[in-house]
Chains A and B, each alone.
Chain A
Amino acid sequence: MSGHLITVFVPRDSAALSVGADAVAAAIRAEAARRDLPLRIVRNGSRGMLYLEPLVEVETADGRVAYGPVTPADVPGLFDAGFLTGGDHALGHGLTEEIPYFKKQERLTFARCGIIDPLSVEDYRAHGGFRGLENALAMSQAEIVKAVTDSGLRGRGGAGFPTGIKWNTVMQAKADEKFVCCNADEGDSGTFADRMIIEGDPFCLIEGMTIAAIAVGATSGYVYMRSEYPHATATLRHAIKLAYDEGWLGDNIHGTNRTFHLDVRVGAGAYICGEETAMLESLEGKRGMVRAKPPLPALEGLFGKPTVVNNVLSLCSVPIILDKGGDYYRDFGVGRSRGTLPFQLAGNIRNGGIVEKAFGITLHELLYDFGGGTITGRPIRAVQVGGPLGAYLPPSQFDLPKDYEAFAAQEAMVGHGGIVVFDDSVDMAQQARFAMEFCVAESCGKCTPCRIGSTRGMETLDKIIAGKNVDANLELLADLCDVMVDGSLCAMGGMTPYPVRSAVKHFPEDFRKKQHAVRVTHIAAE
């Protein structure tokens, strides 16, 4: 291999850093220097196999070879085993792209994530980046909107509204100024796809937003980031600067008469700002209070102007649609759920990470074929899908296909694709209580059923858990849930009852533990 500089990849993704990727990169650099072996270290995004992080890859003639999870202490042994030429080692997994977890996926949105250097425009270009935007620059606004409509793309933030229809409304609106806003306020527990793609392929988001702006005639845009994601925010700011430097953002994009200016704004720890109208209020510098709709943000959005508000994954799906055509994207999926969704396996799961698959895959396949069951080795008792406002499902429903309509029929949500796994040690009454507690903490306060109802719900659940008038209190809780669902403007109050109701419905025994215990004590006393 003389004369050829070997490339080693060590991710810079936050999840990889959280288990020591920086220390591993430093150890590899130090060991290479000690052995006088020149090599190049690229800090890539994550491949999404988070259970293998830090996942170190080495470029070989046959492809990239994977080792993980690597600790700094493993590094000298890896050198001894000849990992720089793909040598065998106990931590070795062979070619990365042949690892079944990875190979069985359909990577459209995450096609480049983990492969490229996230902050290299050149690398991005070499892997098909900006081809969608180049096509869009040569198309009319209506043609771009039609391609997105034809693709069947629906909002990946949770609501599943058709993206093309939203864009069409903004395109047709007459105004002196329009905006494109990316909702990157990924606050749902069990979701991390937005963070990962922003850290691993930030130009993809920039490209998607620029295409959206050209399509609807917007000249300014914002990405609303979470303050809990400092690495992602820093990466995105850096990428935006590079995109300006290279003429992909700003006035006269690549010599055309199109203009798009993009800036990053950071939220401040309010979950409700993931709701689109609260996010707009926050972007305007105000309290994140939910707005009543109508008017739709598409007509009166940011600063009262027509505004596209899309989730990160929706916007990151746009470049490939404009590159390969709406039909290509639509050919993935089932029913009215077209394309792919990057599912996120989280919580008590052996093989946690990103699994991008076409819609229609079942929970069972995701949890067992990909996830490998729980990390504790105990049986899975419940999964929560679609974030803290999504239903808890028992194993009897794991054959449900991942499809917006099939899930909605069960008061569950595909949502943002997050799946949180619990083993049989979980107490579902406590999880139901937490759903109410979370709503107490995060309600914006606009609607009474959400603001007050959540507190009353928590108190009622405390009584149930303590075994006090369980039947009457369960009835009261059901009634309260109905009022919250029917009497709240947004999903915060409107869906907090979903995890509560589903826990009561599927795991009723957990709500009667104390009641039983009390009864048993009585009988014993008699």
Chain B
Amino acid sequence: MTIVEDNRHLRGALLPILHALQEEFGYIDEQAIPLLATELNLSRADVHGVVSFYHEFRREKPGRHIIKVCRAEACQSMGANALVDHVKKRLQVDFHGTTADGAFTLEPVFCLGNCALSPAVMIDENLHGRVSPDRFDALAAETRANPTAHQQIPRALSHKDSHKGHAQ
């Protein structure tokens, strides 16, 4: 519950807390909902309502890596629908599914802000542009073989280290 303690001072603390929980555990466990309700003096329905409203919050443990394939218009114009079909077939999962070996969870996303270099895919926090089916296969193989090869955002710059000077 240190996550709650770290964020309790924030106004509108529920979303930051849910993000921190998901970053730590990969998903929001059902057991967290009554706990958060008690801690933040909210009803369980309030917490459940928020968790279920936002696409980003997962309710089940995901694979080791999250693959997000953009489905929005700019990517569609460059063959995103065919890429989606290829990815599903290659990973043998549908959207929100996890591969049998637990390596990947596949999620749809509407726009990654890389619309001039479509189609776009995000693997964990790394954005990839002009992703053809072949390039997707290479990226997936590389991630599976050597997960640390991908440059990650330094945690020092993540929200845990951000300025908290104005707790009110």
Chain A contact residues, CB within 8 Å of chain B: 14-15, 17-19, 22, 50-51, 53, 186-192, 194-195, 220, 226-235, 237-238, 240-241, 244, 250, 261, 263-271, 282-288, 303, 344-349, 352-353, 375, 384, 388, 418, 420-423, 426, 431, 434, 438, 441-442, 444
B110 touches A285 (CB 8 A): no
Cβ of B63 within 8 Å of any chain A Cβ, yes or no, is no
Q: How far is the CA of A14 from the CA of B70 in the complex (A)?
A: 15
Q: In the assembled complex, how far is the CB of residue A378 from the closest CB belonging to chain B, in whole angstroms?
A: 11
**B159's closest neighbor in chain A, by CB?**
A237
Q: In the assembled complex, how far is the CB of residue A178 from the closest CB belonging to chain B, in whole angstroms?
A: 14
A17 touches B14 (CB 8 A): no
Among B15, B113, B163, B168, point to the contact of A282 (Cβ < 8 A).
B15
Cβ of B116 within 8 Å of any chain A Cβ, yes or no, is yes
A18-B114, A388-B73 given; A266·B162 CB < 8 A? no
A228 touches B53 (CB 8 A): no
Using a CB-CB cutoff of 8 Å, which residues 107-127 of chain B contact chain A? 109-118, 120, 122, 125-127
Q: How far is the CA of A187 from the CA of B111 in the complex (A)?
A: 6
B74 touches A227 (CB 8 A): no
**A51's closest neighbor in chain B, by CB?**
B116
Among B110, B114, B154, point to the contact of A14 (Cβ < 8 A).
B114
Q: Please name 13 further chain A to chain B contacts, defined as beta carbons within 8 Å, in addition to the given A189-B110, A244-B163, sorted by A numbering.
A: A18-B114, A50-B116, A190-B72, A192-B115, A231-B127, A265-B12, A286-B12, A346-B116, A348-B118, A353-B116, A388-B110, A423-B77, A431-B76
B116 touches A269 (CB 8 A): no
A266 touches B19 (CB 8 A): yes
Q: How far is the CA of A235 from the CA of B118 in the complex (A)?
A: 23
The 11 listed contacts between A and B (C-beta, < 8 Å) are A14-B127, A15-B117, A15-B129, A189-B115, A220-B168, A234-B158, A235-B157, A264-B162, A268-B55, A269-B55, A346-B116
Contact with A along B60-80 (1 / 0, CB 8 A): 000000001000111111100
Which residues in A have their C-beta under 8 angstroms from that of B16?
Answer: 265-266
A269-B56, A434-B76 given; A190·B115 CB < 8 A? yes
Q: In the assembled complex, how far is the CB of residue B88 from the closest CB belonging to chain A, in whole angstroms?
A: 17
Which residues in B have their C-beta under 8 angstroms from that of A234?
Answer: 153-154, 157-158
Which residues in B have their C-beta under 8 angstroms from that of A263?
Answer: 162-163, 166
Cβ of B87 within 8 Å of any chain A Cβ, yes or no, is no
A188 touches B111 (CB 8 A): yes
Q: How far is the CA of A223 from the CA of B41 in the complex (A)?
A: 26
Which residues in A have their C-beta under 8 angstroms from that of B86?
Answer: none
Q: How far is the CA of A271 from the CA of B108 in the complex (A)?
A: 13
A241-B163, A388-B73 given; A270·B117 CB < 8 A? no
B111 touches A267 (CB 8 A): no
A228-B109, A288-B54 given; A18·B120 CB < 8 A? yes
Q: How far is the CA of A264 from the CA of B78 in the complex (A)?
A: 33
Q: Which range holds the interface residue count of chain B?
A: 35 or more
Q: How far is the CA of A189 from the CA of B68 in the complex (A)?
A: 15
A270 touches B166 (CB 8 A): no
Which residues in A have their C-beta under 8 angstroms from that of B128?
Answer: 18-19
Q: How far is the CA of A51 from the CA of B116 in the complex (A)?
A: 7
Among B49, B53, B76, point to the contact of A270 (Cβ < 8 A).
B53
A266-B19, A347-B118, A420-B73 given; A186·B162 CB < 8 A? no
A348 touches B116 (CB 8 A): no
Q: In the assembled complex, how far is the CB of residue B147 from the closest CB belonging to chain A, in whole angstroms?
A: 16
Which residues in A have their C-beta under 8 angstroms from that of B68?
Answer: 228
A17-B126, A263-B163, A269-B56 given; A284·B72 CB < 8 A? no
Q: How far is the CA of A263 from the CA of B16 in the complex (A)?
A: 12
Which residues in A have their C-beta under 8 angstroms from that of B129?
Answer: 15, 18-19
Q: How far is the CA of A384 from the CA of B68 in the complex (A)?
A: 23
Among all A-B residue pairs, the 5 with the closest Cβ atoms: A352-B116, A189-B72, A268-B54, A346-B115, A285-B12
A230 touches B125 (CB 8 A): yes
Which residues in B have their C-beta under 8 angstroms from that of A187?
Answer: 110-111
Which residues in B have their C-beta under 8 angstroms from that of A51?
Answer: 116
Cβ of B89 within 8 Å of any chain A Cβ, yes or no, is no
Using a CB-CB cutoff of 8 Å, which residues 17-48 of chain B contact chain A? 18-19, 46
B54 touches A267 (CB 8 A): yes
Which residues in A have their C-beta under 8 angstroms from that of B112?
Answer: 228
Which residues in B have their C-beta under 8 angstroms from that of A388?
Answer: 72-73, 110
Q: In the assembled complex, how far is the CB of residue A436 from the closest CB belonging to chain B, in whole angstroms?
A: 13
Q: In the assembled complex, how far is the CB of residue B144 from the closest CB belonging to chain A, in whole angstroms?
A: 19
A421 touches B127 (CB 8 A): no
B115 touches A191 (CB 8 A): yes
A283 touches B110 (CB 8 A): no
Which residues in B have their C-beta under 8 angstroms from that of A434?
Answer: 73, 76
A14-B114, A18-B127, A344-B115 given; A270·B74 CB < 8 A? no
A420 touches B116 (CB 8 A): no
A18-B128, A303-B11, A421-B77 given; A231·B115 CB < 8 A? no
Cβ of B57 within 8 Å of any chain A Cβ, yes or no, is yes
Contact with A along B124-149 (1 / 0, CB 8 A): 01111110000000000000000000
**A499's closest neighbor in chain B, by CB?**
B73
Which residues in B have their C-beta under 8 angstroms from that of A420?
Answer: 73-74, 77, 115
Which residues in A have their C-beta under 8 angstroms from that of B100?
Answer: none
**B107's closest neighbor in chain A, by CB?**
A269
Which residues in B have their C-beta under 8 angstroms from that of A284?
Answer: 11-12
Q: How far is the CA of A303 from the CA of B16 in the complex (A)?
A: 17
Which residues in B have their C-beta under 8 angstroms from that of A344?
Answer: 115-116
A442 touches B110 (CB 8 A): yes
Q: How far is the CA of A287 from the CA of B18 in the complex (A)?
A: 13
Which residues in B have their C-beta under 8 angstroms from that of A226?
Answer: 113
Which residues in B have their C-beta under 8 angstroms from that of A287?
Answer: 49-50, 53
A238 touches B166 (CB 8 A): no
Which residues in A have their C-beta under 8 angstroms from that of B14?
Answer: 285-286
Cβ of B2 within 8 Å of any chain A Cβ, yes or no, is no
Task: Specify which of B16, B57, B72, B153 lies most central, judged by the most chain A CB atoms within 10 Å of its CB.
Answer: B72
Q: How far is the CA of A226 from the CA of B127 in the complex (A)?
A: 14
Among A22, A271, A418, point to the contact of B115 (Cβ < 8 A).
A418
A15-B129, A231-B125, A345-B116 given; A269·B54 CB < 8 A? yes
